[in-house]
């Protein structure tokens, strides 16, 4: 049940959205301002944390291979990976640094070498090029002429990770209010007046409160929250495209001990349908990329044949009957179909000229990996408290 608030309530910082990004920011701010004992509030429209993008992904700790040099994605992924492995060790969050293979045919050697070079530019120096024999030795079920091995790629239990962030933040006094949907925000001289709908199982209630700092980490609704802030110039709110990715579970014994990725197709919005697994070694394949117009998480069994066809390029013994619809996630893309990939967008005072407001847009992959680094960056820019 949400904590009760009334219109005289006032908080130092309000964070909208309890996905992995909002939770990581709450924890970073609680640590940074531990001595000042600030009132920090995290609002979440759902009954619990992490019900949207943060629980509908591949749960991969990415190395930082693909993103353009100096992009936020590259810098925050590489820094985030380091922080995330440390966090997992320190707080017993289940993870495994199992490594990943990016596989190709002979004619894709050039593209793999380019990827290796790109990774180096991002500070990722541990990729190893493998020939057919070496690849076959570590993954006999694979068909690949050549591969890049990334030893620092891993998998994480994302639910336990988010739970750890919430727990650590709450231990430092952060308030968490589920069932609390932000509906409108007015900018005042002293900060923000936030209007919410408290939408519990039994009753609905409107309430509002004040805060000095506001962080919009509402994921797929970040643009709609931004539009509800009266003084934010509409022209700086980036366009949002929903890009759905479906996953299928493999019904048979997992033949792999590493993650397996094809080379990303330059014209697709994702990294290609890859083989990923959870910490119990349950193998799943996905995600594909489909631009959609609504938040529909249904996975159609009809796609199994198409998935099998794509996966067969590196795992020839796959058959469609071994694929069972699992779940889907939706990417909050800032680039439309066919457009070049967009970077994460973090807007502060220099973009909107509103003191105390930080907005995060387009936090798609590698947002889970980068979460602690994104939080570090956001906490670093909240200084006047």
- Choose, by CB under 6 A, the member of 104, 154, 264, 367 that binds ligand FAD: 367
- Give residues 212-251 in contact with ligand FAD (rule: CB under 6 A): 217-221, 225, 245
Confirm or reject binding of residue 174 to ligand FAD (CB under 6 A): no
- Point out which span in 206-214, 229-237, 311-319, 323-331 binds ligand FAD (CB under 6 A): 323-331
Measured torsion, CA atoms of residues 44, 47, 51, 52, in degrees rounded to the nearest 10:
-50
Confirm or reject binding of residue 65 to ligand FAD (CB under 6 A): no
Tell me the closest approach of the beta carbon of residue 332 to ligand FAD, in angstroms: 7
Tell me the closest approach of the beta carbon of residue 19 to ligand FAD, in angstroms: 2
Confirm or reject binding of residue 154 to ligand FAD (CB under 6 A): no
Confirm or reject binding of residue 104 to ligand FAD (CB under 6 A): no
- Going by the DSSP 8-state scheme, the letter that residue 23 receives in this structure is H
Tell me the closest approach of the beta carbon of residue 51 to ligand FAD, in angstroms: 5
- Going by the DSSP 8-state scheme, the letter that residue 67 receives in this structure is S
| Beta carbons within 8 Å of 110's beta carbon, 6+ residues apart | none
Confirm or reject binding of residue 97 to ligand FAD (CB under 6 A): no
- Choose, by CB under 6 A, the member of 12, 15, 19, 142 that binds ligand FAD: 19
Tell me the closest approach of the beta carbon of residue 289 to ligand FAD, in angstroms: 9
Tokens of 384: 């006047």
Confirm or reject binding of residue 51 to ligand FAD (CB under 6 A): yes
d(Cα 198, Cα 5) in Å, to the nearest integer? 10
Cβ 330 vs Cβ 56: under 8 Å: yes
Question: What are 198's strand-pairing partners?
Answer: 180, 205
Q: How far is residue 85 CA from its own chain's centroid?
A: 16
Distances (CA, A) of 164 to 97, 158, 171: 19, 10, 10
Neighbour tally for 281: CB within 10 Å: 13
Confirm or reject binding of residue 22 to ligand FAD (CB under 6 A): yes
CB of 12 or CB of 364, closer to ligand FAD: 364
d(Cα 350, Cα 120) in Å, to the nearest integer? 31
Confirm or reject binding of residue 153 to ligand FAD (CB under 6 A): no
**Which residue shows structure tokens 């996630």?**
329
- Give residues 345-364 in contact with ligand FAD (rule: CB under 6 A): 363-364
Distances (CA, A) of 178 to 2, 25, 105, 123: 5, 17, 49, 39
Give how many residues touch ligand FAD by CB under 6 A: 42
- Choose, by CB under 6 A, the member of 331, 333, 352, 377 that binds ligand FAD: 331
Tell me the closest approach of the beta carbon of residue 344 to ligand FAD, in angstroms: 9
Strands 154-156, 95-96: parallel, antiparallel or unpaired by DSSP? antiparallel
Residues making contact with ligand FAD (CB under 6 A): 16-22, 43-46, 50-54, 56-60, 62, 181-182, 217-221, 225, 245, 287, 329-331, 363-369
């Amino acid at each position: 049940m949400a904590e009760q608030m009334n219109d005289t309530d006032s908080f130092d910082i309000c964070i909208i959205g309890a996905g992995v990004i909002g939770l990581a920011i709450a924890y970073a701010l609680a640590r940074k301002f531990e001595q000042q004992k600030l009132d920090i509030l995290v609002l979440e429209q759902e009954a619990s944390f992490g019900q949207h993008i943060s629980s509908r992904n591949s749960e991969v700790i990415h190395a930082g291979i693909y993103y353009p040099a100096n992009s936020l994605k590259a810098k925050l992924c590489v820094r985030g990976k380091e922080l995330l492995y440390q966090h997992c060790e320190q707080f017993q969050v289940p993870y495994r640094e199992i490594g990943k293979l990016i596989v190709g045919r002979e004619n894709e050697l050039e593209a793999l070498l380019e990827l290796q070079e790109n990774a180096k530019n991002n500070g990722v120096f541990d990729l190893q090029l493998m020939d057919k024999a070496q690849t076959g030795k570590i993954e006999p079920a694979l068909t690949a002429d050549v591969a890049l091995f990334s030893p620092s790629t891993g998998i994480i239990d994302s639910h336990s990770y988010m739970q750890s962030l919430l727990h650590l933040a709450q231990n430092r006094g952060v308030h968490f209010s589920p069932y609390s949907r932000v509906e409108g925000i007015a900018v005042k001289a002293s900060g923000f007046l936030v209007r919410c709908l408290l939408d519990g199982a039994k009753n609905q209630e409107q309430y509002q409160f004040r805060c000095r700092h506001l962080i919009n980490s509402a994921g797929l609704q970040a643009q709609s929250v931004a539009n509800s802030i009266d003084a934010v110039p509409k022209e700086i709110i980036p366009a949002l495209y929903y890009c759905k990715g479906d996953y299928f579970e493999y019904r048979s014994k997992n033949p792999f001990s590493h993650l397996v990725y094809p080379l990303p197709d330059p014209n697709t919005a994702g990294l290609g349908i890859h083989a990923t697994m959870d910490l119990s070694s349950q193998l799943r394949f996905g995600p594909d990329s489909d631009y959609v117009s609504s938040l529909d998480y249904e996975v159609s069994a009809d796609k199994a044949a198409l998935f099998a066809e794509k996966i067969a390029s590196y795992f020839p013994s796959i058959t469609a009957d071994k694929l069972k619809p699992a779940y889907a996630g939706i990417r909050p893309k800032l680039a439309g179909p066919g457009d070049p990939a967009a970077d994460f967008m973090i807007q502060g005072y220099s973009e909107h000229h509103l003191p105390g407001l930080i907005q995060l847009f387009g936090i798609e992959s590698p947002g889970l990996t980068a979460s602690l680094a994104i939080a570090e960056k956001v906490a670093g820019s909240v200084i006047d408290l």
